[in-house]
Structure 1
Amino acid sequence: MYSLQYLLKRIGLLITVMWTAATINFLIPKLSPRDPIRERLLQAATQGGRNQTGLQQMAEAYSRDFGLDQPLWQQYLNSLLKVVRFDYGYSISQYPRTVNSVILDAMPWTLGLGLVSILIAFVIGTILGALLGWPRSPRWLRFFVPTSMLTSAVPAFVLGFLLIYVFAFQLKLFPLAGAYSRTATPEFSGEFILDVIRHAFLPACALILFQLGGQALQMRSLMVMTTGEDYIIFADAKGLKPRRIFLKYAVRNALLPQVTGLVMSLGTFIFSTVLVETLFAYPGLGGLINGSIQVLDYNLLYGITMILVFAVCIATLIVDLIYPLLDPRIRYGKA
C-alpha cells in the first residue's frame, strides 16, 4: 500500500515546509525596528512610577537572557534548534513563564472549539452537499443552495458579530464573550461543562456556518460530476437500489476530493478560528496571537505559528496515508 520511498519523500517534504516556515517566522520580526524588551521595561517603569535609571542595563541583561544580543546567524541557528526540540524559550510578555506552558494552557480551548467545529461542518456539509447534488433528492432541499453560497461568502468573524448582536445582545440567550462565567469554578462537573458549552456555542456556530457552506457547495459539485459517470448509469441500468447507488457509487467516489478540499482549507479555517477567538475573547491560541502581536512577544508568536504549521503538515500527511482506505485503487508504490 505504501512504499518506503514514498514515506521518505513525504517526510522530507514535511521537513522542508517546516524549515521554510521557521525561516520566514524568524526573519519577519527582525524587520521591525522596535525593541520589545525595552518597550516592556519602559511600560513597567512608567506604570509603576519607578525611576528609569538603569533601564539600559536591565534591557541589556534581559536581551542576554533571551539571546537577542547574539549575531543574527546565531539567533537563526538557535531558532531552528528550538523548532527541533519544541522548546521556544521564555515568553517576553509573561516572563518568567515559558512559551510551552503558555501555549499548553490555551491549546485545549482551541482544540475543543476548532476540531469540534470543523468536524461538525464537514459531516453536515458533506451530507447536505451529497443530497443537493443527487437528482432524486426532495426539491425543497434546493433552498439550501443560496443559503450555502451566502454563508460561505461571509467571513467567520462577520457571522460572529451577527450572532453576538442577535443571540447575545438582543435575545440574551448566550453570553457575550469568554469561555466560562467569572463566578464559575473550573472543575469537572456537569454544571461547569454546561457553562463552557453555552459560552462556546456562538463562536462554534460562526465557524460551522462559515465552513459548512463551502463544504456543501463543493460536495454538491462533486456529486453532480459523479452522477454523470458511466458506472452510475450502468448501476442504475442494472436495477440496483437508489440508496446503494447513492452511498456506494456516488458518495464514496466523491468523498476523496472532498477530504482533500478539507485539508486544503485548514489554513483558512485556522485563520478564521484565530479571528473568532479574538472576537469572543476566547482563551485560546487566537487570543494569544493577538496579544503577542500587540506586545511584540516574538518567542510566543514564533511558538504558536510553528505549532500551527506543524499541525497542518501532520494533518496533510495523515490524509495522504488514509487515501488508500477511501479508494482502494490508490497505491503509493512503484508501478
Structure 2
Amino acid sequence: MRGLDLRYFVRRISMFFLVVFVAASFNFVIPRLAPGNPIGAITSRMANASAGIENGQAMFEAYRKRFGLDEPIYIQYGRYMWNTIRFDFGQSLSAYPADVSEIVRPAIGWSMGLIGVSVLITFALGVTIGALLAWRGTPRMVKAVLPITMIGGVLPYYLLAMLLLYIFAFTARVLPMSGAYDSGIRPELSGAYIGTIARHAVLPALSIILTSVGGWALTMRGLMVNTIGEDYMLLADAKGLPKRRILWWYSVRNAIPPQVVHLGIVLGYVVSGAILVEIVFSYPGLGYQLYQAIVNSDYTVIQGITLILAVSVALCVLIIDLIYPRLDPRVTYVAESSG
C-alpha cells in the first residue's frame, strides 16, 4: 500500500493486540474494585421480593461457586482471559441463566442502527455546513441561516433529549416516548415494523444530531480556511474550472481527511451507544444495557460490553491509521518504519 510498508503494518497490528490485552485486563480489575458484592446484591433483591430466603447463605455460596467468584483472583483472571479469547463472556449474574451474548447481540444492532446513522448524518451535515460557511461564493442569505444549526451545540445531548421528549411526546403527542418499536408490532421485515422503528428513532437521533453538528461544522470551517489560499486552489481558479468543482473537488477534498479520522474514532464508540440518550428514551441499545448492568452489579455483562467498546475503538483507530496515507498522499509511514 502506498505510504505504508510491512514493518509498520506489523508494528501497528502488534500494538492493536497489546491495547486489547491491556483493556481486557483493566476490564477484569475495575469492576472488582467497585464497592458491593454482585452475588450479595442478587440474593438481597431476591430476599426483598419474597420477604426472606430460606437457606440464604447456602444459596449465596452456590451462586459464588457457579460464577467462579469463590476461587483466587488469579484463577478468575486466567479463566476470564481464556474465555475472552474464545469470545465467551459467560452468563449474566442478574439475568441468569441468560448468556451475556444473548443480551449484548441485539443491543449492538439497536445502537449501531441509531447512533451509527445519526453520526453519519451529523458528519455529512457538519462537513457541508462548515464548507459553505468558509466558501467565499456562498450566498449571504445562506451564510446568515446556516449558523442557526449550531444552536443545539450549547446543550448537552441528554438535556436536549428531555426537551424534545417534552415537546413532541408529552405535549404534541406526535412521536413515541420510549422504546424502539410499538409493542403491538411483530418484529419482522415489513413496512409497518420498519416504519415504527423509524418513528421511535426520530427523537433520539435528533438529540444527537442537533447537539453534534455544530462541532463538526466549526472544525470543517477551520480546515477549509487553511485550504482556500493554497496554490492548487489558485491554479484551479486560473484554469477557469467551475466554482462548484473547485469547492468540492479541490477545497473540501483536501480539507476533509482530519474529519474522516475523527469520524472513524467516533464510529468506534457507536457500539457503546449514547448512554444517557438511550436511558432517557428507554432505547434498548448497548448503552442502556450497560446502565442496567451497572445498577445490578452484573460483572459479566459490564465486562462484555466494555470490552466490545474497547476493541471497536482500537480497531477503528487501527483501520484509520492504516488507510490514512490513501486519504492524504502527503502522509507516509515508510520513512518512519525504515529509519
Q: Which blocks of at least 5 consecutive residues in structure 1 are unaligned?
A: none
Is residue 2:282 matched to residue 1:281? yes
Structure 1 position 126, deviation (Å): 1.0
Structure 1 position 270, deviation (Å): 6.5
SS in 2 for 1:96: coil
Larger mean CA deviation between 261-270 and 108-117 belongs to: 261-270
Is residue 2:12 matched to residue 1:31? no
How far apart are the structure 1 equivalents of 2:266 and 2:117? 15
Is residue 2:165 matched to residue 1:203? no
Structure 1 position 230, deviation (Å): 2.5
- Distance change in 2, residues 1:144/1:29 (3 Å): farther
How far apart are the structure 2 equivalents of 1:145 and 1:292? 41
- Distance change in 2, residues 1:85/1:32 (3 Å): same
Structure 1 position 191, deviation (Å): 0.9
How far apart are the structure 2 equivalents of 1:189 and 1:90? 33
The answer to whether the Cα contact below 8 Å between 1:177 and 1:280 also exists between their aligned partners in 2 is yes
- Distance change in 2, residues 1:306/1:267 (3 Å): same
How far apart are the structure 2 equivalents of 1:105 and 1:260? 28
Instruction: Summarize deviations over 1:182-222 as a string: whole Å, max 9, x none.
Output: 22222221111101110111101111122211111111110
The one-letter code of the counterpart of 1:297 is: D
Larger mean CA deviation between 164-173 and 322-331 belongs to: 322-331
SS in 2 for 1:225: helix
Q: How does 1:284-295 map to 2 (within 5 A)?
A: 284-295=285-296
SS in 1 for 2:54: coil
The one-letter code of the counterpart of 2:216 is: Q
How far apart are the structure 2 equivalents of 1:267 and 1:3? 25
Structure 1 position 324, deviation (Å): 3.2
Q: Which blocks of at least 5 consecutive residues in structure 2 are unaligned?
A: none
Instruction: Tell me the residue number matched to 1:226.
Output: 227
The one-letter code of the counterpart of 1:24 is: F
How far apart are the structure 2 equivalents of 1:108 and 1:263? 18
The answer to whether the Cα contact below 8 Å between 1:157 and 1:206 also exists between their aligned partners in 2 is yes
Q: TM-score, normalised by structure 1?
A: 0.93
Structure 1 position 228, deviation (Å): 2.0
The answer to whether the Cα contact below 8 Å between 2:133 and 2:221 also exists between their aligned partners in 1 is yes
Larger mean CA deviation between 101-110 and 147-156 belongs to: 147-156
Structure 1 position 262, deviation (Å): 2.1
Higher relative contact order (CA 8 A, sep 6+): 2
The one-letter code of the counterpart of 2:224 is: M
Q: TM-score, normalised by structure 2?
A: 0.92
Instruction: Tell me the residue number matched to 2:7.
Output: 5
- Distance change in 2, residues 1:185/1:268 (3 Å): closer
SS in 2 for 1:73: helix
- Distance change in 2, residues 1:47/1:133 (3 Å): same
Q: How does 1:8-23 map to 2 (within 5 A)?
A: 8-23=10-25
Is residue 2:300 matched to residue 1:299? yes
The answer to whether the Cα contact below 8 Å between 1:148 and 1:214 also exists between their aligned partners in 2 is no
Instruction: Summarize deviations over 1:27-47 as a string: whole Å, max 9, x none.
Output: 222223311112211211331
The one-letter code of the counterpart of 1:153 is: V
- Distance change in 2, residues 1:268/1:85 (3 Å): closer
Instruction: Summarize deviations over 1:226-283 as a string: whole Å, max 9, x none.
Output: 1122222233233332222212211111010111222344577677711111110001
- Distance change in 2, residues 1:7/1:262 (3 Å): same
Instruction: Tell me the residue number matched to 1:138.
Output: 139
- Distance change in 2, residues 1:269/1:216 (3 Å): farther
CA RMSD of aligned residues (A): 2.0
- Distance change in 2, residues 1:171/1:33 (3 Å): closer
The answer to whether the Cα contact below 8 Å between 2:116 and 2:270 also exists between their aligned partners in 1 is no
Larger mean CA deviation between 168-177 and 151-160 belongs to: 151-160
How far apart are the structure 1 equivalents of 2:220 and 2:271? 21
How far apart are the structure 2 equivalents of 1:247 and 1:279? 39
SS in 2 for 1:183: coil
The answer to whether the Cα contact below 8 Å between 1:252 and 1:326 also exists between their aligned partners in 2 is no
- Distance change in 2, residues 1:274/1:144 (3 Å): farther
The answer to whether the Cα contact below 8 Å between 2:24 and 2:307 also exists between their aligned partners in 1 is yes
Instruction: Summarize deviations over 1:91-129 as a string: whole Å, max 9, x none.
Output: 001100111111012121111101111111111211121
- Distance change in 2, residues 1:269/1:162 (3 Å): farther
Larger mean CA deviation between 182-191 and 87-96 belongs to: 182-191
SS in 1 for 2:240: coil
Instruction: Tell me the residue number matched to 1:308.
Output: 309
How far apart are the structure 1 equivalents of 2:254 and 2:214? 21
How far apart are the structure 2 equivalents of 1:192 and 1:53? 46
